[in-house]
Structure 1
């Protein structure tokens, strides 16, 4: 369950970054609220997950999931292209996250 909570925390990293981008320098209040709620929830879920996952592993996974998700958010919501090379390396990051989960080190 801790890994699932950590995954949701990582996805929320992308949500708060999306909110900041859409807020246009904090001028659109609903997006500011979205960013703040997502940020606080992400940190809360991250702190819950580190009760059962070593902090070093949890941080790497949290960061990796957030980075992959924001790449796709940028592509779908802000029309930033994703090259095949970027997609390949996102897949490598994903494989690394799965490897960390399976290693249970």
Structure 2
């Protein structure tokens, strides 16, 4: 479940970053509300994942997924450049995220609870 938390948190990171663009410095109400709400839920889910994942791994996945997703959205919807080197490094970020997932040991809730005691 913790990997689902971090995945959804990363998706919401993309949403709140886009909300920042459309809120015009928090001067437009609906995008501003959407930005703050998705930011809060994103960080809540990120914090839930920290009960099970090492903080460095979780943060790298959270920010990497959000950054790569935002870059791809920028390319497809905002006509940002998509040269070969940019696409290569976005792919490299995603490969790093997959690598972190594959090399992170699974921790159970009981392990996390024991660590808190």
TM-score of the two chains, using structure 2 as the length reference? 0.84
- For 2:8, what is the secondary structure of its paired residue? helix
What is the aligned partner in structure 2 of residue 45 from structure 1?
A: 45
- Residue segments in structure 1 that go unaligned for 5+ positions in a row: none
The Cα shift of 1:77 comes to 3.0
Does the alignment pair 1:18 with 2:18?
A: yes
Q: Distance in 2 between matches of 1:12 and 1:60?
A: 15
Number of residue pairs matched by the alignment: 105
- Residue segments in structure 2 that go unaligned for 5+ positions in a row: 106-117
- For 1:93, what is the secondary structure of its paired residue? helix
Q: Distance in 2 between matches of 1:101 and 1:61?
A: 8
Runs of 4+ in 1 over 6 A off after TM superposition: none
The Cα shift of 1:10 comes to 1.1
Deviation per residue, 1:12-43 (Å, 9 max, x gap): 11111100101112221110011001100110
The Cα shift of 1:3 comes to 1.0
Q: Distance in 2 between matches of 1:77 and 1:18?
A: 11
RMSD, aligned α-carbons: 1.1
For the pair shown, the structure with the greater C-alpha radius of gyration is 2
What is the aligned partner in structure 2 of residue 103 from structure 1?
A: 103
